[in-house]
Amino acid sequence: MDGPHPIRLAMLGRQGAGKGTQCVRLSHHFAIPHISTGDMLRAAVRANTPFGQKASEFMERGELVSDEVITGVVSERLGENDTRVRGFILDGFPRTVAQAGALQEILAPGGLLAVVDLDVPLEVVKARLFSRRVCAVCGANYSVEVFPRVEGICDVCGGEIVQRPDDTEEAISRRLELYEEMTRPLTEYYRRLGLLEVVDGIGSLDEVMERILAALRGRGIEGQVFGGQDS
Ligand code: AMP
């Protein structure tokens, strides 16, 4: 790409597919904000705002918060200067066809440049989710595959490593079920729009990242147009 066009990306994939980790890397690579609706909601829960209290009821059961509410949150974030100028990578949004439609309206007359679907089989994500631990402060992920240098302490920020309240067996099953029901139709939605790139999410973090970058390069989306450093 030549010139500072906003790079507008979204990432699909089952819970536990590694979206968050790859989105952080992509956000560094392209120097664009990483917008994770799950992280935004968890921040509201930690801040104990009335909105956070309401959202946590849904989140702990593994249910989705309402389309109107989450779309309002995202719309506000996408109206900020950094996302308008640089672009963004969306993680965890859209999650329903209604949200995808709302996103198109928010971004009009432009739109997303590409949607990456990180493909990881159900059995693999289940094993990852059951073993997942996260930093309570910065949200960095750990598991039986990726563990911290010091037990219980986050490598990135020194925060405490905990299990997410929605990583219980019941909530995990519900979230994966909802993914198939509500989010899976988005792959067809974005395929029809010619935006979908399905990427195999099995492999090392670097291998998966390279596959994503190759898919984006194939669409002419590459480089650090704002002079950011590759990670
Ligand atoms: P995540 O970290 O993306 O798995 O999100 C954690 C939880 O936040 C989800 O299980 C939902 O309860 C809620 N959530 C996050 N993003 C959305 C969204 N786009 N629509 C509805 N609920 C969401």
Average of per-residue pLDDT across 146-169: 92
Say whether 132 is catalytic: yes
Find the 65 Cα to ligand 1 centroid distance in Å.
7
Q: What DSSP assignment string belongs to 16-75? A: TSSHHHHHHHHHHHHT--EEEHHHHHHHHHHTT-HHHHHHHHHHHHTPPPPHHHHHHHHH
Say whether 54 is catalytic: no
Average of per-residue pLDDT across 176-201: 98
Whole-angstrom Cα distance, residue 118 to residue 124? 13
Give this prediction's pTM: 0.89
Q: Domain boundaries in the chain?
A: 7-221
Average of per-residue pLDDT across 155-183: 94
Q: What is the per-residue pLDDT across 116-135, written as a single tens digit (0 to 9) for each? A: 999 999 999 999 899 999 99
Q: Look at residue 1 and tell me whether its pLDDT is greater than 70.
A: no
* 134-143, 179-188, 202-211: range with lowest mean pLDDT: 134-143
Rounded mean pLDDT of the chain?
92
Please name the residue that has the structure tokens 């402060």.
137
Residues having CB within 6 Å of any atom of ligand 1: 15, 37-38, 41, 58-59, 62-65, 70, 92-93, 95, 99, 166, 175
Q: Look at residue 231 and tell me whether its pLDDT is greater than 60.
A: no
Q: What does the pLDDT read at residue 224?
A: 53
Q: Which of 64, 66, 76, 177 to mutate to test the pocket of ligand 1 (most atoms within 8 A of CB)?
A: 64
Q: Return the percentage of the chain with pLDDT > 90, whole number.
A: 84
Q: What does the pLDDT read at residue 228?
A: 41
CB atoms within 10 A of CB 221: 20
- State the closest ligand 1 atom to the C-alpha of 166, by its place in the atom list counted from 1: 10
The CA-to-CA distance between both ends of the chain, in Å, stands at 19
Q: Which fold has domain 7-221?
A: Rossmann fold (3.40.50)
Find the 37 Cα to ligand 1 centroid distance in Å.
6
Long-range contact set of residues 190-195: C-beta below 8 Å, sequence gap at least 24? 190/12, 190/100, 190/112, 190/115, 190/117, 195/112, 195/113, 195/114, 195/115
